[in-house]
């Protein structure tokens, strides 16, 4: 186990370094220049050059890259080229919207997906099981943006139950309002995500129903449902956990789109805006933080999975 | 298992048949719309904006008086092109990475695994945003981004499958008798993992349609001169409170098409190899 | 010399009726004008104002962008002179100003008892220093506006004198903008995040990405603000802005999207007001490159475009504009009859120019509505021109179009007032080079009599329009949604400046 953890840790670090290089150098291919944006449409070439020097953008790229890496070793993601404020503080502020959104979506997804997935499997080939599968298939195919629009049309416009768009400007100072603002966006991602989790849980449960221990338990007089719930569920949950690692990326994509639709001041919208003005220091900090988050979660999921499920060990390791 | 029997198996599944029928219809619509649409899909008439559905305008008109039906109809072309090309590219990337990650020397395998993990951590939409900021928004960018993004997923799913096949007796025997990696891949492994790829191809197409819609919605996808369901959603979005009816059409078109590709994928999986059901879990999670 | 600023996303295309500046009383609304009648003003009130574009930082000296002018000038920073919302020059920190008959000496008499927000008294030395800084520092915005100024001095504590090397009829206008702002010489505050001016409001806080708060300055030299403070909130999405005003999150919403105005109809207690702007939505031609070197092609494009339909497509938020100068600017003449909509003639012109089956590309920034490109594509198609539309982000647009001139057609909202000089600058991205226009513009600057200025500009504008140097799609009108009880909010040119000195809430 120790060797495994160590090797995964080394891979994680390599992963972060490679990701940082990929992000840094890809971004340098973008046309346009933040100095030009600051100088504005009246900016002369000399003015733009002066701003570039001031921001340190005239240094060779490898030097800028190493400088950035060195800063990160101290936990410093850099400062915005446009506003001069720290990237990490901006990111933390936006995460107070995006993380609760992702969290709520995930909770909704799990609450919808796991129980209904088990039901769909246990009631397989019966009307209710088939109906659940069909609905899940259909919902999983809904584009998040459209799903959100329908929810807005129904809950905000027609029923006037929830706000259509926006977020209270003092954020969590008014928890009730903040939650209400996040509810429709979280439902949008959560329902679609829930449909995916449902389909997955259903398959995993169907697999478990075929396993020997469930059959044995059923043979001993337990109902199949009880047998699955008592013996099969831990394994089903384990597989769901392993999938959540992969789903994190999907959740983030959902967040970018849904923040745009619901005008939420989260990381996704900030990212879109920062790419727009070529605030590359900020963009690279944000991208690395997001990628790093997914990589680290993947790492943790791997470890958990490994610790709980010894079957995963490869021969010869 | 031969292709012939896949097709027969597929035809026995109603969901598969319905899905295949929808996709055929889509391709037909794509072909027909390149020669004929009821109205010119790009013809605007601001004086007849927001007309309700009628015989003349089946889906009504939008805020600048375009015929929504003709536009949705013409956008099938975009959808078909994106799905086909992105699917092919994703398969190529997937097979390539999976082969690299399973059949090569240990250090190449490990590096590929790391690369795959990093790329998976990069949401497809971010890849597309960057590419389109660099190159300008176009269908090519969407296709490339989805090709890479989903290709990585395919690689992750197929890596294990390839590795499993790679350890079977006949492959080991072939290697022992001096057949090179490429030979083993072409002659023994690909035919055996083909069913997995066919399924993944279908799912990749579903993903590419969702991605195109999302990217065009954000303004990073198709240019304004290309009809796209995602872009129409974007155009109609601000009017959701006043004209909620009009967003139904592009949204339903996307949903039905994605659903069709997903169902086709499932049906193909069932039809090609019952053994694969056990592995269904992994691929569904990604779809 | 002023130049285009590109401030406003979709929503600026907003405004209600074609009858400009008519108060559109929507529902049960009692206040009709911009000055108060009903209710007693509440001195403790804070007014929430919805705007579109947030400034990137607050440095009024070096950072470009009309978003800064909008919030800070008039309210926080002031100059010797200012401008009204309909672009007339008025004295602010000067009690009066005189211009010598040769147009070479400007004498300003300073107000007494003016204080900066940090408590220091305003001196003539601060004024001289501020103007000198702008003139001498190449990285400051609008530094070129003071090019004609030879010397800035204060013969006594109440007077500031500007001497010019040649007459500049645009100087007072320039001084009412950024070039003329008066800052304190001794102050050491960080301009990027704080501000120390002489205006009726102090900058209280800036929560980046969300809001900017102003507070009443209790030591203000003039009539003190009638409200305790103003909070500016930023809504880049048109529908979010509408929701904010309906839900009461903001008391006033500027630049309401006209295509959504029906959402505000029938809402009790909110009235919509339409105001004029100098926002010139311009279809720019790359005059220096083929096929635009052929005047027949340029005229054909102008005649192919139906401005009325375009104005309808943006919710009626504009008036037709036939030349480079909008109604609020000096030198305006109604030129809408030049190259008016005539698709048949357009086809003839294209045929004569040998330009049938013309393929053109249109590149414009993605914060302008997609519908503009869609409608243009469809209108040009009817005369046989195939248009390919590319919407890019603003930075790419600056790089490719403004700097590199790598474009054929572009749509830009040239929002700035008094910006005719662009047509006299052959290096500008228009690529328009006409010596007669350049001479007339120079003469207008050199003129010391305003009627001569107007005549020269009008003559030059007519030439530019006859040359079909661009197509002016429309001048935008702007819609402001105001809750009952809020008075004194300007409704014209709100995207450029927002003087809130008379704002009150009951």
> Each residue of A168-222: pLDDT tens digit?
877 788 888 899 999 999 999 999 989 988 988 888 888 887 777 777 777 777 7
Task: Return the residue of A nearest to B260 by Cα.
Answer: A141
Two structure tokens written together for B241: 């409170």
In this model, does residue C26 exceed pLDDT 50? no
C88 touches chain A (CB under 8 A): no
Determine whether the interchain pair A27/B118 forms a contact, defined as Cβ–Cβ distance below 8 Å.
no
Average pLDDT, chain B: 83
For chain A, which residues score pLDDT lower than 70? 1, 245-246, 249, 253, 308-317
pLDDT band at C423 (very low <50, low <70, confident <90, very high): very high
Residue C34 scores a pLDDT above 60 = no
Q: Picking from B168-172, C121-125, C335-339, C358-362, which range would have the lowest pLDDT averaged per residue? A: B168-172
- Which residue in B133, B134, B224, B234 has the most chain C C-beta atoms within 10 A of its own C-beta, making it the best mutation to test that interface? B224
- Across the interface, whether the CB atoms of C391 and B42 are under 8 A apart is answered no
DSSP string, A105-118: HHHHHHHHHHHHHH
Comparing C302 with B142, which gets the higher pLDDT? C302
Domain boundaries, chain B: 7-282
C18 interaction partners in chain B (CB closer than 8 Å):
none
Taking CB atoms and an 8 Å limit, are C389 and B224 in contact across chains?
yes
Mean pLDDT of B250-264: 94
Mean pLDDT confidence for C170-194:
94
Regarding an ipTM greater than 0.95, the answer is: no
Q: What is the pLDDT of residue A246?
A: 66
- Report pLDDT digits (tens) over C259-301: 999 999 888 999 999 999 999 999 999 999 999 999 999 999 9
- Quick check: B115 and A18 CB within 8 A? yes
The CATH number corresponding to B7-282 among 1.10.3720.10, 3.40.50.620, 3.40.50.700, 1.20.58.110 equals 1.10.3720.10
CATH T-level topology, domain C42-76+199-269+484-505: D-Maltodextrin-Binding Protein; domain 2 (3.40.190)
What does the alpha-carbon distance between residue B191 and residue B203 come to, in Å, rounded to a whole number?
19
Secondary structure (DSSP) of C7-38: ---GGGG----SSTT-EE--SS----SSS--S
CA dihedral C185, C187, C193, C198 (to 10 degrees): -70
Residues 6+ apart with CB under 8 A from A299: A8, A9, A12
Residue C310, chain B, CB below 8 Å: the answer is: yes
Domain boundary assignment for chain C: 42-76+199-269+484-505, 78-182, 276-477
Mutation site, A29, A41, A55, interface C, largest C CB count within 10 A:
A41
Query: Band of the pLDDT at B273, cuts 50, 70, 90?
Result: low
Question: Using CA atoms, how far apart are residues B98 and B200, in angstroms rounded to an integer?
Answer: 13
Query: From the centroid of its chain, how far is CA A128?
Result: 32
B258, B209 in Cβ contact below 8 A?
Answer: yes
Residues 6+ apart with CB under 8 A from B275: none
Residue A40 to chain C, least CA–CA distance (Å): 5
Residue C332, number of CB atoms within 10 A of its CB: 18
CATH of domain C78-182: 3.90.76.10
- C-alpha–C-alpha distance, residues C199 and B270, integer Å: 75
Output the CA–CA distances (angstroms, integers) from residue A97 to A161, B70, C154, in the order listed: 21, 40, 54
**Does the structure show a pLDDT above 60 at B274?**
no
> CB-CB: which of B113, B214, B258 is closest to A145?
B214
pLDDT at C103 exceeding the cut of 60 = yes
Please determine, looking at this structure, whether the domain spanning C276-477 carries the CATH number 3.10.105.10: yes
pTM here is: 0.86
Instruction: Please answer yes or no on whether B251 and A291 come within 8 Å at the CB atom.
Output: no
Most confident of A286-295, B104-113, B208-217, C152-161: C152-161
Contacts of C49 (CB under 8 A, 6+ apart): C230, C231, C232, C233, C250, C251, C252, C253, C254, C489, C498, C500
Confidence class of residue C4 from pLDDT cuts 50, 70 and 90? very low
């Amino acid at each position: 186990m120790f060797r495994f953890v160590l090797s995964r840790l080394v891979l994680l670090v390599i992963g972060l370094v490679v990701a940082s290089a990929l992000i840094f150098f890809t971004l340098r291919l973008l046309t346009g220049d933040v100095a030009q944006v600051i100088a504005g449409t009246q900016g002369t070439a000399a003015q733009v050059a002066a701003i570039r020097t001031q921001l340190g953008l005239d240094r060779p790229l490898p030097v800028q890259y190493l400088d950035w890496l060195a800063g990160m070793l101290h936990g410093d993601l850099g400062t915005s080229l446009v506003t001069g404020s720290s990237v990490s503080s901006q990111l933390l502020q936006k995460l107070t919207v995006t993380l609760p959104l992702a969290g709520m979506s995930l909770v909704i997804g799990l609450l919808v997906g796991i129980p209904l997935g088990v039901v769909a499997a246990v009631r397989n080939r019966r009307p209710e099981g088939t109906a659940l599968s069909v609905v899940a298939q259909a919902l999983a195919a809904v584009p998040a943006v459209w799903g959100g629009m329908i929810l807005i049309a129904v809950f905000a416009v027609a029923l006037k139950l929830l706000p259509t768009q926006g977020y209270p400007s003092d954020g969590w100072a008014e928890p009730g309002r903040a939650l209400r603002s996040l509810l429709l966006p979280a439902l949008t991602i959560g329902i679609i995500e829930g449909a995916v989790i449902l389909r997955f849980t259903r398959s995993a449960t169907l697999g478990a129903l075929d396993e020997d221990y469930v059959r044995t338990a059923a043979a001993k007089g337990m109902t199949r449902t009880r047998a699955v719930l008592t013996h099969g569920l831990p394994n089903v949950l384990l597989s769901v956990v392993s999938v959540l690692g992969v789903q994190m990326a999907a959740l983030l994509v959902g967040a970018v789109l849904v923040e745009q639709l619901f005008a939420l001041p989260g990381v996704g919208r900030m990212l879109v805006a920062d790419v727009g003005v070529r605030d590359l220091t900020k963009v690279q900090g944000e991208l690395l933080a997001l990628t790093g988050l997914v990589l680290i979660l993947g790492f943790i999921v791997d470890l958990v999975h490994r610790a709980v499920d010894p079957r995963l060990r490869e021969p010869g390791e | 298992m031969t292709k012939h029997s896949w097709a027969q198996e597929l035809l026995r599944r109603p969901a598969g048949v319905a899905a295949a029928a929808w996709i055929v219809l889509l391709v037909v619509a794509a072909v027909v719309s390149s020669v004929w649409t009821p109205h010119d899909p790009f013809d605007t008439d601001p004086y007849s904006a927001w007309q309700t559905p009628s015989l003349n305008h089946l889906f009504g008109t939008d805020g600048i008086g375009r015929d929504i039906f003709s536009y949705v109809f013409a956008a099938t072309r975009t959808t078909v092109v994106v799905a086909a090309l992105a699917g092919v590219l994703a398969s190529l990337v997937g097979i390539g990475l999976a082969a690299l990650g399973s059949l090569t020397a240990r250090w190449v395998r490990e590096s590929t695994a790391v690369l795959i993990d990093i790329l998976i951590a990069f949401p497809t939409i971010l890849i597309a945003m960057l590419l389109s900021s660099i190159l300008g928004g176009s269908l090519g960018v969407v296709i490339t981004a989805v090709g890479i993004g989903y290709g990585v997923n395919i690689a992750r799913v197929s890596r294990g499958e390839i590795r499993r096949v790679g350890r079977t007796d006949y492959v080991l025997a072939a290697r022992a008798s001096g057949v090179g990696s490429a030979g083993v891949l072409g002659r023994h492994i690909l035919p055996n993992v083909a069913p997995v790829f066919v399924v993944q191809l279908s799912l990749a197409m579903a993903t590419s349609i969702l991605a195109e819609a999302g990217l065009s919605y954000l303004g990073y996808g198709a240019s304004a001169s290309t009809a796209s369901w995602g872009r129409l959603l974007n155009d109609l979005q601000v009017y959701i409170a006043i004209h909620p009816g009009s967003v139904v059409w592009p949204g339903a078109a996307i949903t039905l098409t994605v659903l069709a590709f997903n169902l086709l994928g499932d049906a193909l999986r069932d039809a090609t190899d019952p053994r694969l059901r056990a592995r269904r879990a992994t691929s569904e999670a990604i779809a | 010399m002023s130049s285009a600023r590109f401030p406003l996303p979709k929503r600026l295309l907003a405004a209600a009726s074609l009858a400009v500046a008519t108060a559109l009383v929507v529902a049960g609304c009692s206040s009709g004008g911009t000055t108060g009648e009903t209710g007693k003003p509440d001195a403790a009130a804070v007014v929430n104002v919805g705007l579109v574009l947030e400034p990137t930082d607050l440095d009024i000296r070096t950072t470009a962008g009309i978003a800064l002018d909008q919030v800070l000038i008039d309210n926080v920073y002031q100059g010797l002179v200012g401008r009204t919302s309909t672009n007339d020059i008025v004295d602010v920190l000067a009690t009066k100003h005189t211009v010598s008959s040769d147009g070479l000496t400007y004498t300003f008499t300073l107000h007494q008892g003016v204080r900066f927000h940090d408590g220091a008294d305003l001196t003539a030395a601060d004024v001289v220093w501020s103007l000198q800084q702008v003139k001498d520092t190449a990285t400051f915005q609008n530094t070129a506006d003071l090019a004609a100024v030879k010397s800035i001095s204060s013969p006594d504590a109440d007077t500031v004198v500007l001497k010019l090397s040649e007459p500049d009829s645009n100087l007072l206008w320039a001084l009412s903008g950024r070039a003329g702002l008066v800052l304190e010489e001794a102050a050491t505050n960080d301009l990027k995040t704080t501000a120390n001016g002489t205006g009726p409001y102090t900058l209280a806080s800036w929560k980046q990405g969300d809001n900017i708060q102003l507070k009443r300055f209790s030591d203000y030299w003039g009539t003190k603000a009638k409200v305790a403070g103003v909070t500016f909130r930023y809504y880049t999405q048109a529908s979010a802005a509408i929701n904010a005003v309906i839900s009461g999150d903001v008391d006033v919403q500027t630049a309401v999207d006209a295509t959504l105005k029906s959402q505000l109809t029938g809402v009790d207690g909110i009235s919509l007001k339409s105001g004029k702007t100098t926002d010139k939505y311009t279809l720019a031609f790359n005059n220096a490159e083929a096929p635009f070197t052929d005047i027949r092609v340029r005229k054909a494009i102008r005649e192919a475009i139906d401005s009325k339909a375009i104005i309808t497509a943006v919710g009626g938020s504009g008036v037709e504009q036939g030349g480079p100068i909008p109604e609020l600017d000096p030198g305006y003449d109604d030129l809408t009859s030049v190259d008016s909509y005539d698709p048949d003639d357009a086809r003839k012109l294209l045929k004569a120019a040998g330009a049938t089956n013309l393929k053109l590309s249109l590149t414009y920034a993605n914060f302008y509505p997609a519908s503009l490109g869609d409608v243009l594509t469809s209108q040009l198609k009817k005369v046989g021109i195939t248009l390919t539309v590319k919407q890019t982000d603003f930075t790419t647009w600056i790089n490719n179009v403004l700097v590199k001139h790598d474009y054929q057609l572009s749509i830009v909202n040239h929002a700035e007032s008094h910006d005719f000089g662009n047509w006299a600058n052959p290096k500008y991205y228009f690529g328009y080079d006409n010596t007669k226009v350049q001479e007339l513009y120079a003469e207008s600057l050199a003129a010391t009599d305003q009627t001569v200025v107007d005549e020269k500009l009008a003559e030059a504008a007519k030439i530019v329009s006859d040359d079909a140097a661009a197509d002016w799609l429309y001048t935008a009108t702007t819609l402001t949604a105001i809750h009952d009880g809020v008075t004194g909010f300007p409704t014209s040119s709100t995207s450029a400046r927002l003087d809130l000195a008379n704002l009150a809430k009951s």
